[in-house]
Amino acid sequence: MFVVRPARLQDLDGLQALARKTGTGLTTLPDHRPTLEEKIKASIKAFDAPPGVTEQLSYLLILEDLETGKVIGTSALIVGLGLDKPFYSYRLLHVTQVSHEPEMRVDTELMQLTNDFVGATEVATLFLDPDCRIGKLGKLLSKARYLMMAAHPERFSNQVIAEIRGWVDDDHNSPFWEAIGRHFFGMSFKDADEINGRGNSQFIADLMPKFPIYTSLLPDAARAVIGKPHDGARPAIHLLEKEGFRFSGAVDIFDGGPEMEVHKRDIWTARESIETTVGGIVDGERHDPVHLVANPSIDNFRVVLTHVVEGSSGVWLPRKAADALELKEGDVIRYSPVEQPKPTESEE
């Protein structure tokens, strides 16, 4: 049985072992023990905080294999982006200029440094151990965040975004960074990425150009990767799109990766989730679970993959799932389907 739950300080070793497997580009999960410890402490503070979005808070979740106690994945929710320090993006702008003598039209694309996502909620830090990418564990890790948002909507902003890792070559070099960032920062993409991942974004404000950048002046290699995701990020994009996320028209300032957005009321898993009570607990469990089931308590938030059976007095849970969720008969529960129904021919 696998469970998603809030990160604890006892998870630090497991979280760092996981961070070593991420490679370059996942700035929110650096292989830097002091930073990871601070992230766990910040998450504990977030779960203890009163409802409302008045400051930037980070909820860090981990996926635990209950049989081994091993940390095999992590995901996060960051609330109130830009309320404590700048959160920058490049907004893609299109400008058309027309001349009548001679007759000519020029379409130009600009990148403008912006703070458009101030106050938004970000779904972040989604990473599953490559050795454990089986079954529906990736969906459990990703969708657990949406059940938390559904259970506690007052803790999350209406605007929800996701930053996607930008494209890098086989040597982890970013053509986008080489064309822009290196000229202003004087360092490699990997070094800048690590500094940013440790929470120091102020150097961006100090050094990034404040005027629009004409993309036509960039090398072909850089233009080709504006809004292009990392090869390994395509499954994550597919999951986000099925939840309702769409490209926002903005890209990451380091690697040019796409930034996606959705209104929290339009997230499919949250919208389809139901809150009820545990009507009963049964022994045994079917294979191929089809439900995400959460203990929605903010003090003991937990999510598993299992089956539920709806009854007149609530839903019935397998005992193994109830134990993992630390729930008993009569407790509040929130559940949602794992998979979306396939569209009918008239909807395709």
pLDDT of residue 36: 94
DSSP one-letter code for 172: S
Mean pLDDT computed over 298-302: 96
Q: What is d(CA 60, CA 123) in angstroms, rounded to the nearest whole number?
A: 10
Q: Where are the domains of the chain?
A: 2-90+114-268, 274-337
At 209 the pLDDT is: 79
Structure tokens at 89: 């993006």
Query: Which is more confident, 209 or 139?
Result: 139
pLDDT (0 to 100) of residue 347: 52
Strand partners, 286: none
**pLDDT score recorded for residue 84:** 85
The residue among 236 and 286 whose pLDDT is bigger is 236
Across the range 57-73, mean pLDDT stands at 96
Distance between CA atoms of 43 and 60, rounded to whole angstroms?
5
Per-residue model confidence (pLDDT) at position 172: 81
Catalytic, 230? Answer yes
Share of the chain above pLDDT 70, in %: 95
Judged on CB neighbours under 10 Å (0-12, 13-18, 19+), 211 is exposed
Q: pLDDT, tens digit, for every residue of 17-59?
A: 999 988 655 677 888 899 999 999 999 999 999 999 889 999 9
For range 208-225, the mean pLDDT: 92
Read off the pLDDT of each residue in 208-233 and give the average, rounded to a whole number: 91
SS3 at position 223: helix
Element (H, E) at 214: strand 213-214
Lookup: tokens for 7: 């990160």
List pLDDT tens digits, range 224-283.
999 999 888 888 899 899 999 999 999 998 899 999 999 999 999 999 999 999 999 999
Give domain 274-337's CATH number out of 3.40.710.10, 2.40.40.20, 3.30.390.50, 3.20.20.240.
2.40.40.20
- Name the CATH superfamily for 2-90+114-268: Gcn5-related N-acetyltransferase (GNAT) (3.40.630.30)
Is the pLDDT at 316 greater than 80? The verdict is yes
Structure confidence at residue 135 as a pLDDT band (50, 70, 90): confident
> 300 or 206: whose pLDDT is higher?
300
Report the candidate in 85, 106, 82, 107 with the shortest Cα–Cα distance to residue 94.
107
CA atoms within 13 A on the CB side of 233: 25
Query: What integer pLDDT is reported at residue 284 of this predicted model?
Result: 81
How confident is the model over 310-335, as a mean pLDDT? 94
Distance between CA atoms of 70 and 6, rounded to whole angstroms? 14
pLDDT score recorded for residue 236? 84
Q: What pLDDT sits at residue 4?
A: 98
Over pLDDT 90: what percentage of the chain? 66
Side chain identity at 6, as an amino acid letter? P
pLDDT at 23: 65
Please tell me which residue in 230, 238, 287, 307 is annotated as part of the active site. Answer: 230
Distance from chain centroid for Cα 230: 15
CA torsion, ordered 113, 114, 117, 122, to nearest 10 deg: 10
